[in-house]
């Protein structure tokens, strides 16, 4: 933190709201990743179309443009591009590390699981029969176990980010338009990357890039351009109305009677399916509405951002790659604890709270280490600093 | 005195657990078996012909292994439960379930099934194997919707059966998108969805069954399939409005 504020930055200092909401998104992703978790009822996916993934990808695009955009202006395309690729490599390593843990967990489960009721579900363990194929497909990012889809998306987005960033710095509008066209083309022509053993990527990079590029566009001056729009009460009322609509529609999923009584058939024909894989327009719009309402009520200078209560979330958001990985690991561990000891409500609440506490503790430790190291290396060139601030994932 | 009471209590407990092997009443919450969609062809077949032919399409979770597997799996238990509830009606449930089939694989057999068997009702259990194989959820939905439309056009009512609740594998198999798709197809084609997932989760939550069990316990699987058969019978009787026709009958 203090090292960062001391740096000369492109427009102004880093927007703490980004760290805050990314930190919260990381907690929500963790809660959603624990299967059958009662605490996950508080997460936003239950009250509207979009979920924490949208927040996470948008903010990641924003911070990536913020950090690497400055690098590209100051040191040129090649150096900035190399830094982006270094970051992508780090994320790849993190992904492979998580996959290793996943393999260990699956292999453990496979050993003791013989319940005849679940002969079919045990099929998920089949890939252990061919570790050679499975591991190679995993290294190629084609085999992605459940809940391990976000990092591969992020890696692919970073791999094409340097030219996108170059365009964003020169003709931001053209870059955003290109991104939107790619999104539309992906929908029109059904583009997606293929997966192993069959099917496609759970997060279609051709669709989700729109959110990432939009985040980057906002970071490079787009947010100021939208300023008037975002301060208007008309925008606010539209956003609130749309959020209420999303809330009502999600309620019909839990109370089918509501749908039967109030949901016109033509509307549901239009709306469904709401594709998460292809970042449905309803989801994207829901995220925009959430963001508009948030920006209206939480200005950049909001004093609450300095409050110690929000400090844990901000800390987690500032070290998002590490905390994301720890979250995925903890959700495996939480599932393991539920299966081995008890799946009851008390256990669900306990693993959720302990998990978030561990994420905060880890973020605090990483921040402390970077601060200590940062002081020692104060004389060294800024390159190291910006990379850390990349705070990517 | 105390010892006798203790022994008596233990005996009762033992007798209770033996009897519980084939429960007379499974806990079947009405709100999970309620459907707005009607099974008109089932109603017609029962009313006009006193006969009900049901085909079960599905994968490994519609089967039980072993010598008595076929008679213990839910299709056979459904036949028994329906026969009890519909006296005077010939109930014939044929299971065509095979393991390791995607929804697309199963749709290839629909024409033959309709031509040869002419069932009044097709129970279509699917979703799990598609989720394991990672079939594109959008494609899954379209395949299923077309298949249901074909069955309806061929003169059969349809009930969709979704996945089992499987807590040990739920962090490994992403069933969410497939379960949502099945719900959507059921709504779209106006057919009942037998929500096996919610029903089994309910049984787990009220403590009726322990689905976390990992061991080779066949008794659990047999009991669960019996209850699933009864629950299906309840759904069919309700959705075809057979209760009024035949008077009331037990579970």
Nearest CA in chain A to B201: A36
Compute the nearest-CA separation of B38 from chain A (Å): 14
Sheet holding B193-194, edge to edge: B90-95, B51-57, B121-125, B157-161, B193-194
Interchain CB distance below 8 Å, B171 and A35 = yes
- Which residues of B are less than 8 Å from A199 in CB distance? 133-136
Grade residue B35 by pLDDT with cuts at 50, 70 and 90: confident
Contacts of A107 in chain B (CB under 8 A): none
Closest residue in chain A to residue B206, using alpha carbons only = A344
Q: Give CA–CA dist A317/A57, Å, rounded.
A: 12
The DSSP output letter for B48 is I
Highest mean pLDDT among A268-272, B136-140, B195-199: B195-199
Chain B CB contacts of A112 below 8 Å: 214
Report residue A96 as tokens. 């492979």
Query: Under DSSP, is residue B94 helix (H, G, I), strand (E, B) or coil?
Result: strand
Cβ–Cβ of B204/A115 closer than 8 Å?
no
Q: What is residue B243's predicted lDDT score, i.e. its pLDDT?
A: 79
Return d(Cα B163, Cα B58) in angstroms, integer.
11
Cβ within 8 Å, pair A116-B211: no
pLDDT interval class at B244 (50, 70, 90): low
**Interchain CB contacts (distance < 8 Å): A and B:** 128
Greater confidence (A385 vs A110) lies with: A110
- Summary count for chain B: helices (H), strands (E): 13, 5
Render pLDDT for A101-138 as a digit per residue (tens, 0 to 9). 999 988 888 888 999 999 999 988 888 888 899 999 99
* Cβ–Cβ gap B171/A335 under 8 Å: yes
A371-380 LR contacts (CB < 8 Å, sep 24+): A371/A1, A371/A2, A371/A3, A374/A3, A375/A3, A378/A3
Check residue B119 and report its DSSP letter: -
- Contact yes or no for A72/A80 (Cβ under 8 A): yes
Domain count, chain A: 1
Can you say how many angstroms the Cα of residue A348 is from the centroid of all Cα atoms in its chain?
23
If you classify domain B27-246 with CATH, what class do you get? alpha beta
What's the half-sphere exposure (Cβ side, CA atoms, 13 Å) at A364? 11
CA A146 to chain B, closest CA, distance in angstroms equals 5
Nearest CB to B138; choose among A124, A273, A332? A273
* Contact check, Cβ <8 Å, B129/A123: yes
Shortest alpha-carbon distance between residue A131 and chain B (Å): 17
Residues of A with Cβ-Cβ distance to B164 under 8 angstroms: 117-118, 120-121
- B124–chain A nearest CA distance, Å: 16
Beta bridge partners of A30: none
Q: What chain A residue is nearest to B178 in terms of C-alpha separation?
A: A273
- Which pair of structure tokens corresponds to residue A222? 């787009």
Band the pLDDT of A297: cuts 50, 70, 90: very high
Task: Name the residue range of residue A319's domain.
Answer: 2-389
Task: Kindly list the domain boundaries of chain B, sorted by start residue.
Answer: 27-246
Report the half-sphere exposure of B112 (CA within 13 A, side-chain side).
6
Q: Which residue of A has its CA nearest to B58?
A: A120
Q: How far apart are CA B79 and CA B99, in angstroms?
A: 21
Q: What is the mean pLDDT of residues A229-240?
A: 94
């Amino acid at each position: 933190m203090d090292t960062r504020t001391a740096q000369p930055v492109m427009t102004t200092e880093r927007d703490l709201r980004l760290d805050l909401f990314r930190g919260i998104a990381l907690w929500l992703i963790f809660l959603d990743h624990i299967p059958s978790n009662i605490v996950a009822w508080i997460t936003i996916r239950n009250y509207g179309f979009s979920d924490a993934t949208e927040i996470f990808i948008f903010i990641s695009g924003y911070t990536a443009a913020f950090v690497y955009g400055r690098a590209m202006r100051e040191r040129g395309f090649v150096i900035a591009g190399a830094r982006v690729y270094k970051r992508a490599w780090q994320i790849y390593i993190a992904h492979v590390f998580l996959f290793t843990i996943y393999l260990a967990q699956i292999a453990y489960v496979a050993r003791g699981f013989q319940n005849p009721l679940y002969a079919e579900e045990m099929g998920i363990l089949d890939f252990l029969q061919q570790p050679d194929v499975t591991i190679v497909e995993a290294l190629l990012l084609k085999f992605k176990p459940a809940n391990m889809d976000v990092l591969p998306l992020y890696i692919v987005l970073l791999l094409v980010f340097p030219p996108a960033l170059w365009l964003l710095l020169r003709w931001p509008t053209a870059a955003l338009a290109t991104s939107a066209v790619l999104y539309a083309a992906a929908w029109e022509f059904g583009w997606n990357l293929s997966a192993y053993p069959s099917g496609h990527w759970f997060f279609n990079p051709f669709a989700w890039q729109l959110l990432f590029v939009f985040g980057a566009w906002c970071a490079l001056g787009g947010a100021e351009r939208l300023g008037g729009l975002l301060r208007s009460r008309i925008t606010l009322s539209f956003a609130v109305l749309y959020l209420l609509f999303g809330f009502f529609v999600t309620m019909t999923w839990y109370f089918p009677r509501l749908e039967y009584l109030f949901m016109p058939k033509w509307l549901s024909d239009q709306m469904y399916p709401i594709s998460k894989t292809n970042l449905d327009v309803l989801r994207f719009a829901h995220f925009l509405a959430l963001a508009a309402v948030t920006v209206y009520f939480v200005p950049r200078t909001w004093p609450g951002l300095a409050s110690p209560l929000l400090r844990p979330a901000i800390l987690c958001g500032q070290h998002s790659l590490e905390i994301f990985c720890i979250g995925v690991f903890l959700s495996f561990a939480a599932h393991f604890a539920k299966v081995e000891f008890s799946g009851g409500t008390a256990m669900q609440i306990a693993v959720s709270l302990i998990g978030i506490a561990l994420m905060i503790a880890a973020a605090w430790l990483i921040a402390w280490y970077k601060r200590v190291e940062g002081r020692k290396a104060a004389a060294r060139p800024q390159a190291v600093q910006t990379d850390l601030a990349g705070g990517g994932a | 005195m105390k010892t006798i009471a203790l022994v008596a209590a233990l005996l009762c407990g033992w007798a209770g657990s033996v009897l519980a092997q084939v429960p007379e009443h499974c806990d079947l919450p009405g709100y999970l078996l309620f459907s707005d969609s009607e099974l008109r062809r089932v109603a017609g077949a029962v009313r006009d012909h006193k006969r009900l032919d049901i085909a079960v399409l599905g994968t490994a979770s519609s089967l039980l292994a072993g010598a008595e597997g076929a008679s213990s799996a839910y299709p056979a238990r459904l036949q028994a439960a329906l026969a009890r509830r519909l006296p005077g009606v010939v109930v014939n449930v044929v299971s065509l379930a095979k393991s390791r089939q995607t929804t697309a694989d199963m749709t290839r057999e629909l024409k033959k099934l309709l031509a040869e068997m002419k069932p009044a009702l097709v129970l279509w259990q699917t979703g799990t194997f598609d989720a394991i194989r990672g079939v594109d959820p959008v494609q899954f939905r379209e395949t299923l919707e077309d298949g249901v439309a074909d069955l309806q056009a061929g003169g059969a009512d349809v009930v969709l059966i979704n996945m089992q609740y499987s807590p040990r594998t739920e962090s490994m198999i992403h069933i969410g998108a497939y379960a949502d798709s099945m719900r959507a197809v059921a709504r779209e084609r106006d057919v009942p969805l037998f929500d096996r997932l919610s029903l089994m989760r309910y049984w787990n939550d009220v403590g009726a069954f322990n689905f976390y069990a990992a061991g080779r316990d066949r008794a659990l699987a047999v009991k669960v399939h019996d209850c699933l058969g009864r629950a299906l019978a309840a759904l069919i009787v309700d959705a075809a409005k057979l209760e009024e026709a035949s008077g009331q009958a037990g579970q």
